[in-house]
Structure formats: C-alpha cells, structure tokens
C-alpha cells in the first residue's frame, strides 16, 4: 500500500462551517491485490470527515494493519471515513480490474452508459439565479438544485418562484438549505414550496435534529444530507425523518458503504441520491459507478468537476446533456500515474 498526497485548486473558494477553503487536499491510495494494482482517493473535509492530519495518520495505520489482511485494515478505519474510502476504492478498483469489468458491473449493476445528474444553482440574486437556471436547462439538465438559506426565507422563496416561472413545470426543482433554517422558518416556507412542486427540500434543519425533520414531513418531501455524517440510514428510517437520503461515499467511508446505504434506504421506501464533497476525479468516478449500479437512479449530485481548477486525471465521467458518462473500462478510473 502506497500513499501520495495531492492538492487540487478550487475554481472558486468554498465556504464551510469550518472556514473558507481554496483547495481540496487529500491522498491517492495505491494497493496491490493478488498481483493487480488498484488506486483510490481519500479527500477529507472537516465537518464531514476526519481532518487531513487524522486522515494521514489513519492511512499510515492502515499500511501497518494491511499486513494482517485488507479486511483488518478496513475495519481499523471506522473512525476515519475519508481514509477508509481511499482504501476501499483502491481495493474495489483492483478487484474489478482483475475481473475485467467496469466497477459498476463489479458492484452488481447492469450495463449502462450514463446516469442523470442535477445542476447546482448558487445562492445569487434573483436575476443571477434565474440566469444560471436557464443556462443549466439549455445545457440539457432536467433537474436543478437551488442553494437557499443564506438569505431571509422570503427572499429565497422569491428566487425559487422566479426559477420555476423561468424553467417551466417539466423541470424537477430541488432546494438545499444546508441546515440553515430553524423549524419556524422551514414551516413558513413549506406551503409555498409545495405550490412550486418542489421535488424535495434538502437538510432544512440541523444535522442532529431528526425529530424536527420528522415533524416537517408532509406536503414537501424532506431529504437529509449532513445528517448522514452523524446518523445511519437505519436511524433516519427509525426516526421517520426523511423521504430521501443524499449519500456521499467519502463521508460514509467508501463506495461499498454508500451502495449498502442506498439499498437499505430503498428497502425502507426512501430514495437515495448519490453526491460528493467536491472530490477529485477518482472519487467522483467511484460515486458515478455506485449510482450506475442502482436500478433507475435519481439525478445525482455529481456534476462537480467544474468546481475544481485542477484535478488528478482528465474527467473520466464527463457531464453532457444532464448526464454523467459511466466509465466502461475495467476498474474505476485510470491511475494518475498512468497519465
């Protein structure tokens, strides 16, 4: 097992609860399984996963425990989801290469060339939001996710009304509050969001407030994202807290765990939307493969390559006409060392 650090510049700075970042720092993870090499990506993001330093320490630990077998190494990374993701993806890449099948086929999916993805619309003014939404529709996107929560609720409702009027009734519209609202704000917004035929409202309340989200369910489907960094799908189901879950493989500890969570959610009657933490190309391709392994996946939050000014490899899953191409070569994606 070999670990190589990287730093990918963002095209625009990313504001998080832990401050503003202008690069995605992480590690390329390489393994060899029965003579076949595999490559993975560990891209920690504080607030979602362990820190960069903790990720490095966890990967160093995995290099030692890997001598006892890869299952032991993975089990030793439960406290470091990004590190576990890097190793799990590398192992899956090696095993699907050895089987000479694309990663999504190795996961059990049927042959498919593309998966639908949504366009993410920023939190600009009404005019900026409408212009961005129109551009996305012209580019072939049929699902739009609009960021809300940085303005007053009434201002966000005005933006969403303007988008709906601009793109028409046939475009699926999602809104993502990133846990910015309190219960009273969310309740005030829900009747108008229902009138806009919102596909779902994502993470309106704090990630810890499963009961509060349960109370909001009704007229508008509720999706949870940040909550999945702290609660299992089983806990979300038991609390009756959501109609949808948004699953980030890097946060959940690997593509294997993301697929398990998606299948568990579907079994419980919740749909599962794949997404990323603005990861590099290796992890992004892995998430596309997970989405492709599921029957009829909903539009995924995987059209994020343009958030990076630099990347590990040329995009292996480029987006066109509202869909991400599913890599068809053996394994997950090319090793950066091969380029």
SS3 239: helix
Q: Is 145 annotated in the active site?
A: no
Main-chain dihedrals φ then ψ at residue 287, nearest 5 degrees: -65, -35
- First and final CA of the chain: distance in angstroms? 20
Check 24, 97, 147, 284 and give the catalytic one.
147
Determine the Cα–Cα distance for residues 56 and 82; give it in Å rounded to an integer.
Answer: 10
- Give the percent of the chain with pLDDT over 70: 98
Is the per-residue pLDDT at 164 higher than 70?
A: yes
Q: What would be the CATH architecture of the domain defined by 114-338? A: Alpha-Beta Barrel (3.20)
SS3 176: strand
Q: Model confidence at 16, in pLDDT bands (50, 70, 90)?
A: low
Check 248, 257, 259, 289 and give the catalytic one.
248
Q: What pLDDT is stored for residue 200 in this prediction?
A: 98
Of how many residues is the chain composed?
Answer: 339
The answer to whether 280 and 308 have CB atoms below 8 angstroms apart is: yes
Is the per-residue pLDDT at 17 higher than 60?
A: no
Determine the Cα–Cα distance for residues 211 and 50; give it in Å rounded to an integer.
Answer: 26
**How far lies 160's CA from each of 135, 152, 189, 190, 260, in Å?**
16, 13, 11, 12, 34
Mean pLDDT is highest, among 9-13, 45-49, 214-218, 334-338, for: 214-218
Q: pLDDT tens, 120-156?
A: 999 999 999 999 999 999 999 999 999 999 999 999 9
Q: Model confidence at 46, in pLDDT bands (50, 70, 90)?
A: confident
Q: What would be the CATH architecture of the domain defined by 2-104? A: 2-Layer Sandwich (3.30)
Q: Is 147 annotated in the active site?
A: yes
Does 54 count as an annotated binding residue? no
Q: Model confidence at 296, in pLDDT bands (50, 70, 90)?
A: very high
Closest Cα partner for 298 from 277, 271, 278, 267? 271
Q: pLDDT tens, 311-324?
A: 999 999 999 999 99
Element (H, E) at 155: helix 153-167
**What residue segments make up the domains of the chain, in order of their start?**
2-104, 114-338
- Give the percent of the chain with pLDDT over 90: 93
Centroid of chain to Cα 238:
23
């Amino acid at each position: 097992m070999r670990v190589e650090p990287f730093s990918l510049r963002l095209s625009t700075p990313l504001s998080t609860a832990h401050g503003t970042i202008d690069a995605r720092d992480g590690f390329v993870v390489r393994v060899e399984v029965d003579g076949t090499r595999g490559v993975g990506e560990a891209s920690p993001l504080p607030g979602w996963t362990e820190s960069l330093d903790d990720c490095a320490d966890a990967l160093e630990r995995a290099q030692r425990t890997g001598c006892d077998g890869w299952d032991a190494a993975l089990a030793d990374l439960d406290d470091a989801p990004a590190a576990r993701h890097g190793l799990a993806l590398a192992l899956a890449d090696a095993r699907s290469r050895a089987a000479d099948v694309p990663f999504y086929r190795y996961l059990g999916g049927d042959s498919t060339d593309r998966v639908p993805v949504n366009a993410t619309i920023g939190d600009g003014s009404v005019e900026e939001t409408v212009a961005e939404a129109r551009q996305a529709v012209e580019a072939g996107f049929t699902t739009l996710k609009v960021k809300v929560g940085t303005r007053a609720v009434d201002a966000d409702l005005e933006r969403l009304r303007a988008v709906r009027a601009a793109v028409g009734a046939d475009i699926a519209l999602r809104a993502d509050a990133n846990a910015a609202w309190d219960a009273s704000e969310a309740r005030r917004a829900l009747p108008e969001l229902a009138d806009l035929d919102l596909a779902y409202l994502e993470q309106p309340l704090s990630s810890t407030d499963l009961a509060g989200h349960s109370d909001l369910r009704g007229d508008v489907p509720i999706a949870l994202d940040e909550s999945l960094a702290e609660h299992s799908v089983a806990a979300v189901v038991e609390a009756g807290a959501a109609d949808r879950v948004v699953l980030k493989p890097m946060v959940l500890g690997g593509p294997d765990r993301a697929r398990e969570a998606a299948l568990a959610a579907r079994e419980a009657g919740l749909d599962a939307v794949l997404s990323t933490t603005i990861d590099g190309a290796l992890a992004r391709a892995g998430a596309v493969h997970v989405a492709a392994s599921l029957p009829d996946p909903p539009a995924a939050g995987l059209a994020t390559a343009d958030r990076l000014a630099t990347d590990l490899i040329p995009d292996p899953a480029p987006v066109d006409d509202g869909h991400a191409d599913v890599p068809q070569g053996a394994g997950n994606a090319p090793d950066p060392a091969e380029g």
